[in-house]
């Protein structure tokens, strides 16, 4: 067992910051010490195997991205990051845990979908990983199987009010699944958009020759996110299910969540960097020499990017400050333009939905600190501590304290990166473009420690595939 000392830095938690040294013994944090502490009269730094110098830098708990889709089959293709490439990219970006979505489709057994996901991930991951379970077909068998999920280390499942014919559940199915959620304590995660109504609008647009990517955002109107969010909240309240709404992008949906929370209900929401920074006008409506109007396909995701003129992005930032939204995940679901997104060249409905961001989440959210929109502590809370509590990992993950896993990131506030692609490629995700090209990032992930191992340091990747372990999660620690 080797020992590592992260010395000279400012340790930041969700509740404060202090100059301190972090001693990791094997895979576990052993102590958080006053700077320059001694052991039996000698400097601790002289007696450990590895010293990481964090002078002038922040030391934060490793990031937890609670919403990723490695290798997700979607739109006739698979998300382009495997567990190997996607988790390595996450590590480069200061994320040491992901929670990915195992998939059960209509007609499949939940147990088989889960086993298939284990087979994809096992021995491949650079960092620790857990699973939520997508329930794409609710019937008596899957409802019974859901009761066994906690024994498998899975304490949350995702339902879809969108994507009819793919993952969609109708209200009757949602009600039945939420009854199981209430009974077991499993957290219901909801994709809250009215899919049947969206599909009508999308077909009408396509029939009228409106086939460009920007119409994806027109069809997926904010009213249909607000309405589905409200419906999910009310069915959750009726059944007693705890509810977590994923990838919230419409300010009106936030207002629904805030109203439920003001009543004291167990209702939570996440947003994603794309809904804080990007818009329907600038990205979905983009034009390039290479792709023409199809450039916008890079940003086709659901829920969609929203109008900046309507003020959704600023409202998401505000909700992160007021805790109307509790955390930020990426919904990392990358597809290349060539051979994947271009399936929808003739019809926006055939563009696989998703954006790749797993590598940039910590940096993108740190820009909120730089611009004064959130505090340093709130950055840690939104990206690590709350995800750990929300999904039953806290104590082991999400905090730097004795007994926790030795996951930490040394973050240099004076670093800078211009996110680029082509010759200036700055990412490690398996994509032929970047949704974040041209973004200027203040701050830099210098060193990443995962369960006591330095896996990224000074621009080098030092880990190996299979370092990451499956995390058995308990029930949410965030419920009131």
- Closest CB to ligand URP among residues 385, 430: 430
Shortest approach of ligand URP to residue 89 CB, angstroms? 17
Complex with ligand URP: residue 353 or 357, whichever CB lies closer: 353
CA atoms within 13 A on the CB side of 362: 34
Min separation Cβ 374 and ligand URP, Å: 23
Shortest distance, position 154 Cβ to Zn ion, whole Å: 16
Minimum CB distance to ligand URP smaller for 7 or for 104: 104
Q: Are 207 and 232 in contact (CB under 8 A)?
A: no
In angstroms, the CA 333 to CA 68 distance is 6
Which one of 132, 216, 312, 444 is in contact with Zn ion (CB under 5 A)? 444
**Closer to ligand URP at the Cβ: 177 or 408?**
177
Work out the burial of residue 413: count CB atoms within 10 Å of its CB; fewer than 13 is exposed, 13-18 middle, 19 or more buried: middle
Residue with smallest beta-carbon separation from ligand URP:
353
Which residue, 295 or 331, is less far from ligand URP as judged by CB? 331
Which entry of Zn ion, ligand URP, none binds 354, CB below 5 to 8 A by partner kind? ligand URP
Please report how close the Cβ of residue 366 comes to Zn ion at its closest, in angstroms. Answer: 12
397 binds, among Zn ion, ligand URP, none (CB under 5 to 8 A by kind): none
Report the partner that residue 353 touches, choosing among Zn ion, ligand URP, none (CB closer than 5 to 8 A by kind): ligand URP
Q: How far is CA 358 from CA 159, 314, 362, 429, in A?
A: 22, 22, 9, 8
301 binds, among Zn ion, ligand URP, none (CB under 5 to 8 A by kind): ligand URP
Quick one: how far is CA 55 from the chain centroid? 29
Site size toward Zn ion (CB under 5 A) is 6
d(CA 430, CA 83): 11
Q: Which of 164, 185, 413, 415 binds Zn ion (CB under 5 A)?
A: 415
Residue 161 and residue 193 in contact, taking contact as beta carbons nearer than 8 Å = yes
Q: Any contact of residue 216 with Zn ion (CB under 5 A)?
A: no
Strand spans (E) along 365-459: 408-418, 440-450, 453-457
Which entry of ligand URP, Zn ion, none binds 415, CB below 5 to 8 A by partner kind?
Zn ion
> How far apart, in whole angstroms, are the C-alpha atoms of residue 270 and residue 326?
6
Instruction: Pick the binder of Zn ion from 52, 446, 447, 478 (CB under 5 A).
Output: 446
Find the distance separating the first CA and the last CA of the chain, reported in whole Å: 39
Q: Does 81 bind Zn ion (CB under 5 A)?
A: no
Residue 209: what are its φ and ψ, rounded to 5°? 85, 10
Give the residue with the Cβ less far from ligand URP, 274 or 326.
274
444 binds, among ligand URP, Zn ion, none (CB under 5 to 8 A by kind): Zn ion
The CA-CA-CA angle for residues 319, 323, 328, to 5°, reads 75
Please give the residue ranges that form the binding site for ligand URP (CB under 6 A). 69, 191, 247, 301-302, 331, 333, 353-354
Whether 257 contacts 321, CB under 8 Å? no
Asked if 18 and 9 count as a contact pair (C-beta separation under 8 A), the reply is no
**Could you say which residues in the range 308-367 bind Zn ion, by CB under 5 A?**
331
DSSP 169-217: --HHHHHHHHHHHHHH-PEEEEE-S-HHHHHHHHHHHHHTT--STHHHH
Chain residues in the site for Zn ion (CB under 5 A): 191, 331, 412, 415, 444, 446
């Amino acid at each position: 067992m080797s020992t590592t000392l992260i010395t000279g830095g400012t340790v930041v938690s969700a509740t404060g910051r202090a100059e301190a040294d972090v001693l990791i013994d094997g895979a576990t944090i052993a102590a958080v010490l006053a700077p320059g502490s001694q052991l039996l009269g000698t400097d601790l730094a002289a007696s450990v195997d590895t010293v990481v110098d964090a002078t002038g830098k922040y030391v934060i708990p490793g990031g937890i991205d609670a919403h990723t889709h490695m290798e997700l089959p979607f739109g006739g293709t698979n998300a382009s990051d495997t567990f190997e490439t996607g988790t390595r990219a996450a590590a480069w970006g200061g994320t040491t845990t992901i929670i990915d979505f195992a998939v059960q489709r209509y007609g499949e057994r939940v147990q088989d979908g889960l086993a298939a996901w284990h087979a994809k991930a096992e021995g491949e991951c650079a960092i620790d990983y857990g699973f939520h379970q997508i329930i794409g077909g609710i019937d008596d068998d899957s409802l019974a199987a859901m009761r066994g999920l906690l024994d498998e280390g899975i304490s949350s499942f995702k339902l879809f009010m969108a994507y009819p014919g793919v993952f969609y559940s109708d209200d009757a199915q949602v009600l039945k699944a939420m009854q199981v959620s209430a009974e077991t304590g499993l957290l219901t995660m909801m994709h809250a958009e009215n899919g049947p109504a969206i599909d009508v609008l999308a077909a009408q647009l396509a029939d009228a020759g409106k086939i460009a990517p920007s119409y994806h955002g027109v069809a997926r109107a904010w009213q249909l996110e607000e309405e589905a969010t409200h419906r999910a909240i009310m069915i959750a309240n009726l059944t007693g299910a705890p509810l977590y709404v994923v990838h919230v992008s419409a300010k009106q949906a936030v207002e629904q969540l805030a109203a439920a929370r003001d009543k004291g209900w167990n209702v939570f929401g996440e947003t994603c960097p794309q809904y804080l920074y990007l818009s329907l006008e600038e990205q979905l409506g983009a034009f390039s020499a290479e792709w023409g109007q199809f450039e916008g396909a890079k940003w086709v995701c659901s829920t969609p990017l929203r109008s900046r003129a309507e003020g959704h992005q600023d409202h998401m930032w505000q909700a992160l400050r007021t805790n109307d939204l509790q955390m930020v995940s990426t919904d990392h679901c990358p597809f290349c333009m060539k051979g994947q997104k271009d399936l929808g060249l003739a019809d926006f409905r055939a563009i696989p939905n998703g954006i790749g961001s797993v590598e940039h989440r910590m940096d993108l959210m740190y820009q909120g600190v730089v611009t004064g929109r959130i505090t340093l502590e709130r950055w840690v809370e939104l990206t690590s501590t709350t995800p750990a509590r929300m999904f039953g990992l806290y104590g082991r993950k999400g905090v730097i304290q004795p007994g926790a896993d030795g996951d930490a990131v040394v973050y240099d506030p004076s670093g800078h990166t211009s996110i680029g692609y082509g010759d200036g490629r700055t990412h490690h995700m398996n994509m032929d473009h970047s949704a974040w090209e041209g973004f200027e990032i203040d701050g830099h992930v210098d060193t990443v420690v995962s369960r006591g191992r330095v896996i990224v340091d000074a621009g080098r990747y030092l880990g190996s595939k299979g370092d990451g372990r499956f995390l058995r999660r308990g029930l949410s620690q965030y419920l009131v």
